[in-house]
A and B are shown apart, each in its own frame.
Chain A
Amino acid sequence: MHELEELYQEIILEHNKRPRNFRSLDDHTAHAEGNNPMCGDEIEVFLKTDGDRIEALTFQGEGCAISKASASLMTEALTGKTVQEAYAEIDRVMQLLKEQGIEPDLARDGDIAALTGVRKFPARIKCATLAWHALHAALKGEGNTSTEE
């Protein structure tokens, strides 16, 4: 039960229940769909930039508590960041979610540190990375991405 509680921390449960920025964005400048063909999770990420800075970041879709909370946390963390900063953050979070060796830095990673519980659940890592993959695709101007790759 201990590992489960690490996976489903309060923060995750709360973001799952009341996801932030959970809507589409009519005036988006980019968007991308992420889907996980193994389980059917689908998350669509909408992005509005002024060319350099992310002015708005939202998401929509169906997913488990982990993928939804991760998307919600991502929108909070990256709104207002520059595109370059966003790329760097995506890299860092991907590493944090996938690699046992790296410890989250609470000051820097904030609530996102709560996502690292998935590292004990290899089958669920894809759920946590889904929205981040989708954002990466949106920034690159690719419409679709899948966590199966």
Chain B
Amino acid sequence: MGIETASQQVQQWRGAFPLLNQLVNGQPLVYLDNAATTQKPQVVIDRLQRYYAHDNANIHRGVHALSQRATEDYEAAREVVARFLGGVESRQCVFVRGATEAVNLVAQCYLRPKLGEGDVILLTGMEHHANIVPWQLVAEERGARIEVLPVTPEGELDLEALPRMLRDLPVKLMAFVHTSNSLGTINPSAEIIALCREAGVPVLLDAAQAAPHQRLDVPALDPDFLVFSGHKTYGPTGIGVLYAKWQHLSQMPPYQGGGDMILKVSFEQTRFKEPPERFEAGTPHIAGAIGLATALEYFMELDQEALLAHEAAMRQRAEAGLGEIEGLRIIGQAPRKASVVSFVVDDVHPHDIGTFLDQDGIAIRAGHHCTQPLMKHLGLPGTARASFAFYNTMEEVDALVRGVQRIVKFFR
């Protein structure tokens, strides 16, 4: 695709996101905090509006028309999720609040009953707190411990250490991130999962940062569990997905008790529904699930190749432009990266960079990105992070680079 048509394509994508068209601090908004949350296309906003204006009713309980409509739409949303995940069964997809809740659910309902004294939960050095703390809670309770697959100075997982750890340690589960939110590293997840499979270790894959960039081929990756958040994938907040192998899901006890997850309740005994309902106690986020499905359908219709090429081009341009600034270091030099650029500047703290850029209308994230152990390992207080989505433009990349150049001048 030529440069001209490529940028026309981006303008067309961009036009679907009304929020982007505004001034912040008197400047056109440059939204480069997509790893924190993505913006929503008009179709998602419209769908939410339509749901509340026309379709709102509780699901699975009413004989009336609206309730049936809401139930159908909610279950149809699950089908869309199953399609987004590469054609898994919809009953394997549980609606949750987000990636965080999905990890907690697996920690509590799958791992906790199996976990004994001295057992190991294997994580990596680049996990988000959401993929650390839930495991710590069950480990502490059960007398188990956390072991960590190290991260190299380039920001890759040290794969050489993995076979030995899987062989020598009593690992009960490995949980790791598909795409790092702080470094952008895309891990060789299929390879890691295959190693775990060989060792008989079940795997949870945190796809929170992978889902916004490509459809996930879950059958090919073959994790036992996979989690992602709707709000990072162009959908509403408060909705996310836990995918799990049926052999696990069907054996797991409920997460929470309540309505919608039971077959029959008496004060003596309650019989639970089969998954996924077993894990969706109470009235779920119906609008959220429907909105997420709309977001995923929208996303799946985009030209995936063009989208990834554009994201890669923005990252490379940002890395090249920022890389020329004296005293600036790009953190995370893995050969395979998503469109995330983390950086530090000598003598200028990431927060100060964040505040300066904000005055230019440029939104980035500054800090530890909920990966404090990784920051400690890298010896950094935090980084400044620009994360690009397909609706960002090359001009925005240039605005970022100019902004950072100005900051560096100011502080030197």
Residues of A within 8 A of B (CB): 1, 3-4, 7-8, 13, 17, 38-42, 62-66, 68, 121, 123-124, 127
CB distance from A17 to the nearest CB of B (A): 7
Known: A3-B359, A4-B359, A64-B352. A40 touches B411 (CB 8 A): no
Is B368 within 8 A of A65, CB to CB?
no
Is A13 within 8 A of B411, CB to CB?
yes
CB of B272 closer than 8 Å to a CB of A: no
CB of B382 closer than 8 Å to a CB of A: yes
Known: A64-B349, A65-B352, A66-B352. A39 touches B359 (CB 8 A): no
Name the residue among A17, A63, A64, A124 with the largest chain B CB count within 10 angstroms.
A64
Chain A residue numbers with a CB within 8 Å of B350 are 64
Is B349 within 8 A of A65, CB to CB?
yes
Chain A residue numbers with a CB within 8 Å of B349 are 63-65, 68
CB distance from B389 to the nearest CB of A (A): 23
In the complex formed, the residue of A with least CB distance to B351 is A64
Is B355 within 8 A of A4, CB to CB?
yes
Interface residues of B in 40-69 (CB under 8 A from A): none
Looking at the complex, which one of B355, B367, B368, B372 makes contact with A124 (CB distance below 8 Å)? B355
Is B381 within 8 A of A127, CB to CB?
no
Residues of B within 8 A of A (CB): 347-352, 355-356, 359, 366-368, 372, 375, 381-382, 410-411
Q: In the docked arrangement, what's the CA distance between A19 and B347, Å?
A: 12
Looking at the complex, which one of A13, A17, A39, A42 makes contact with B351 (CB distance below 8 Å)? A39
CB distance from A11 to the nearest CB of B (A): 14
Is B367 within 8 A of A38, CB to CB?
yes
Is A39 within 8 A of B410, CB to CB?
no
CB distance from B355 to the nearest CB of A (A): 6
Q: In the docked arrangement, what's the CA distance between A66 and B366, Å?
A: 14
Known: A13-B411, A63-B349, A65-B352. A40 touches B382 (CB 8 A): yes
Is A40 within 8 A of B355, CB to CB?
no
CB distance from B350 to the nearest CB of A (A): 8
Q: What are 7 inter-chain pairs, A to B, with CB distance below 8 A? A: A7-B355, A17-B347, A39-B367, A39-B382, A41-B351, A63-B381, A65-B349
Name the residue among B350, B355, B375 with the largest chain A CB count within 10 angstroms.
B355
In the complex formed, the residue of B with least CB distance to A68 is B349
Is A39 within 8 A of B368, CB to CB?
yes
Is B367 within 8 A of A121, CB to CB?
no
Chain B residue numbers with a CB within 8 Å of A3 are 359
CB distance from A13 to the nearest CB of B (A): 7
Chain B residue numbers with a CB within 8 Å of A1 are 359
Q: In the docked arrangement, what's the CA distance between A38 and B411, Å?
A: 24
In the complex formed, the residue of B with least CB distance to A65 is B352
Further pairs besides A4-B359, A8-B352: 8, Cβ < 8 Å: A39-B351, A39-B368, A40-B367, A65-B411, A66-B352, A121-B355, A124-B351, A124-B355
Q: In the docked arrangement, what's the CA distance between A65 and B351, Å?
A: 8
Q: In the docked arrangement, what's the CA distance between A8 and B363, Å?
A: 19
Q: In the docked arrangement, what's the CA distance between A63 and B348, Å?
A: 10
Chain A residue numbers with a CB within 8 Å of B375 are 40
